[in-house]
Amino acid sequence: MSSTQDRPSPSLRRLGCTPAPQEARDVVQAALKRLSALRYRQTPLLHAVLTEMAEHHVPVTINHLMALPSISDSDYSSTYRLLKRLESEGIVTCLGVAQKAPHYLLVMPGHQHAYLVCKVCGVLEETDASYSSPTVCGDCEFTPWSHVQSEVWFTGICPECA
């Protein structure tokens, strides 16, 4: 039997976040400009991953990306290394769920998402739960840290697994 990470990722139930085409292009261009300043090579795989993640702003697994026609010719290890580099630069964030394949989400200014994650099947469900994510709170200060952002996900058992 294959491991959970070898299987296609479980489904994502969405409430809705579809960036406008111009917003998606702007986010991709900003990321490419930032990566260029850091001397990252502008490869076709980089362009394809950023474009797909911007146009379809949902958490994706490597398997999801590898199934896309624009990325399917790339090898798995190159895609994994690229995602880890993008994560280290703060361009994507990783929703790591214990015992489940990690999901990656492109960081887009103004887009805050919270997810429910089933501990049994791994399904992600975007929740409309409102939350605040101050960069500075009354009791703490983040300096000398930079690029601080909040990530919210809750774990539980979905109705299908309960």
Q: What is the mean pLDDT of the chain?
A: 78
The model scores a pTM over 0.75 = no
Please check whether residue 7 lies inside any domain of the structure.
no
Ramachandran quadrant class, 54 (left: phi over 0; alpha: psi -120 to 50; beta: rest):
alpha
Please check whether residue 89 lies inside any domain of the structure.
yes
Please check whether residue 61 lies inside any domain of the structure.
yes
The crossing angle, in degrees rounded to 10, of helices 44-55 and 76-88 is: 70
Residue 67 clears pLDDT 60, i.e. is over it: yes
- Under DSSP, is residue 144 helix (H, G, I), strand (E, B) or coil? coil
CATH code: domain of residue 48: 1.10.10.10
Least Cα distance to 47 among 70, 63, 20, 69 occurs for 70
Please check whether residue 111 lies inside any domain of the structure.
yes
Q: Which domain, by its residues, includes 132? A: 12-156
Residue 136 clears pLDDT 90, i.e. is over it: no
Residue range 91-102: mean pLDDT, rounded: 77
Please check whether residue 88 lies inside any domain of the structure.
yes
Q: How many domains does the chain have?
A: 1
Please check whether residue 72 lies inside any domain of the structure.
yes
How far, rounded to the nearest angstrom, does the alpha carbon of residue 15 sit from its chain's CA centroid? 16
Please check whether residue 145 lies inside any domain of the structure.
yes
Please check whether residue 48 lies inside any domain of the structure.
yes
What is the maximal distance between C-alpha atoms in the chain?
51
